[in-house]
Amino acid sequence: MASEFKKVYIETLGCQMNKSDSERIFGILSHFGYEPCEDENEADFCIVNTCSIRQLSEEKAYSKLGVWGKMKKDKPLKIAICGCVAQQEKEKLLKRFPYVDLVFGTQNIYELPELIKKDGRVCAVRENPVKEGDYNIIRAKNLNAWLPIIEGCNNFCSYCVVPYTRGREHSREPERIIDEAKSIIAQGYKEITLLGQNVDSYGKDLEAKPTLAYLLREIDKLDGDFRIRFTTSYPTDITDELIETVKNSKKVCECFHIPMQSGSDRVLKSMNRRYNREKYAQIVKKIRENIKDVTITSDFIAGFPSETDEEFKMTLSAFDEFELDYSNTAAYSPRPNTPAGKMVDKFIDEDEKKKRLAILNDKVKEMSLKSNQKYLGRSLEVLIESFKNGKYEGRTRNNKVVHVTGENINIGDFIWAEIDRASTWCLFGSKK
């Protein structure tokens, strides 16, 4: 499994944190003679970086391992599984998939140099993170760079497996984060997204208690033409300091992703969320009153155990009450080790969950169109990200997708566009 295998392919499933982890894995392996490839058929080393938030993601990972297991019959191939499923299942994966050579957890990434040198099949899953190594990061070739600032979660929501797969919250030192931000800017990236399962909790576990707001202000001071985003926010961790910082910063984008999960107080309590509907309303109101043109997006679960029809309707009404611009939705998926996963007698029928999810998605479409229509006739700053079908595509500061026509436009440009049409998922306009 050592340096004779030169091409590595990573299949990344799940969230932005997984994508960031894969960039770090590519970078670490580059120090040992590996180079990334985009075709798994050309690879000498295949890694699936897994997500266990939903059962479907886990099944996708297992399916990919099966494909690689067949490939291994025809050529020498090393196979590894990492990420949240690896952290959760550990040695079981070596038993279930005899063609897998390496299992490593979310806290073992910086141990890869030692792990790839070991003989035989290896399982390495730690409960606590190791010290960061000074390795390259091979980032995706686009305009946005992921910058993790905190990992793990202390909330133990009853449906969520993250505390069991990513561990308790642990923050990176601010100096390392700011140095990495400087490197990102020097490489020409136009957006930096600060990442965390609970990004607003940043710094609580560090001696000096630096805050997310502090980090945003420090990165905002750096020279360069770029934007700053952050995700994901836990409602009650959003402070007045953070709202003021977003309001007053030049480069921090006016966008908050604040998962609500349900509009029912009883369901929220059963989910072990640390707020009720009234508290969520107060937070949203404060943000909207202070930040012009702010976009607020959310997450909702359809069919949480014991959710009634009336409680589901409360979730639908939350979209209107809080004027949510967009929301991610999912049908409830029981996960191992979670309290909600043990509520078997309260599970909602699969057909009913699908029905509720479809209704939720229709509501998301309605709210997205309504949100986009607010910008008709407006002039918005757009970062041009790509050229597709004869039109340039980019995003506004508050994360609206815009298709732009015009001359003298280049990918990576910040331009101003006059918005003349709105659809469900995007805006259309022309360069001023």
Angle, helix 212-220 to helix 174-186, in steps of 10 degrees: 30
337 occurs within a structural domain: yes
For the segment 278-300, the average pLDDT, to the nearest whole number, is 98
pLDDT digits (tens, 9 = 90+) for 6-52: 899 999 998 999 999 999 999 999 999 999 999 999 999 999 999 98
Spatial distance between the Cα atoms of 270 and 267, rounded to a whole number of angstroms: 5
> 41 with 149, same domain?
no
Same domain, 314 and 388: no
Convert the pLDDT of each residue in 195-209 to its tens digit: 999 999 999 999 999
Question: What pLDDT is stored for residue 30 in this prediction?
Answer: 94
User: What's the average model confidence in pLDDT over 220-239?
Assistant: 97
Residue 275 and residue 151 share a domain:
yes
427: CATH = 2.40.50.140
Residue 232 lies in a domain: yes
Question: How far, in Å, CA of 388 to CA of 431, rounded?
Answer: 16
Is pLDDT above 70 for 55? Answer: yes
pLDDT at 148 over 50: yes
Could you tell me the two tokens for 228?
């700053």
In a domain, 136, yes or no: no
pLDDT bucket at 3, cuts 50 / 70 / 90: very low
Does residue 348 share a domain with residue 255?
A: yes
Asked whether residue 288 falls in the same domain as residue 360, the answer is yes
At residue 2 the predicted structure's pLDDT band, cuts being 50, 70 and 90, is: very low
CATH number of the domain that residue 38 is part of: 3.40.50.12160
pLDDT in tens, 96-114: 999 999 999 999 999 999 9
Burial of 249 (0-12, 13-18, 19+ CB in 10 A): middle
Assess whether 152 and 292 both reside in one domain.
Answer: yes
Q: Is residue 197 part of a domain?
A: yes
Q: Taking all residues of the chain, what is their mean pLDDT, rounded to a whole number?
A: 95
Q: What is the CA radius of gyration of the chain?
A: 22
Q: Which of 350, 373, 396 is the last residue of a domain?
A: 373
155-189 pLDDT tens trace: 999 999 999 999 999 999 999 999 999 999 999 99
> Residue 2: inside a domain, yes or no?
no
Domain stops at, among 330, 348, 373: 373
Give the per-residue pLDDT at 69.
97
Count CB atoms within 10 A of the CB of residue 308: 12
* Residues 96 and 156 grouped into a single domain: no
Task: Give domain status of residue 396, yes or no.
Answer: yes
Residues 14 and 118 placed together within one structural domain of the fold: yes
Residue 208 lies in a domain: yes
User: Rounded mean pLDDT of 257-261?
Assistant: 98
Host domain of residue 185: 144-373
Q: What is the pLDDT of residue 4?
A: 55
Same domain, 173 and 303: yes
Q: How far apart are CA 95 and CA 209, in angstroms?
A: 43
Q: Assess whether 248 and 280 both reside in one domain.
A: yes
User: Position 226: which residue type?
Assistant: F
Q: Please indicate, yes or no, whether residues 163 and 106 belong to a single structural domain of this protein.
A: no
How many structural domains compose the chain?
3
pLDDT at 271: 98
Quick check: is 15 in a domain? yes
Write the CATH number for 272: 3.80.30.20
Q: Which CB contacts under 8 angstroms, 24+ apart, belong to 384-389?
A: 384/409, 384/410, 384/411, 384/412, 384/413, 384/414, 384/415, 385/142, 385/143, 385/411, 386/411, 387/411
5 pLDDT band (50/70/90 cuts)?
A: low
291 pLDDT more than 70: yes
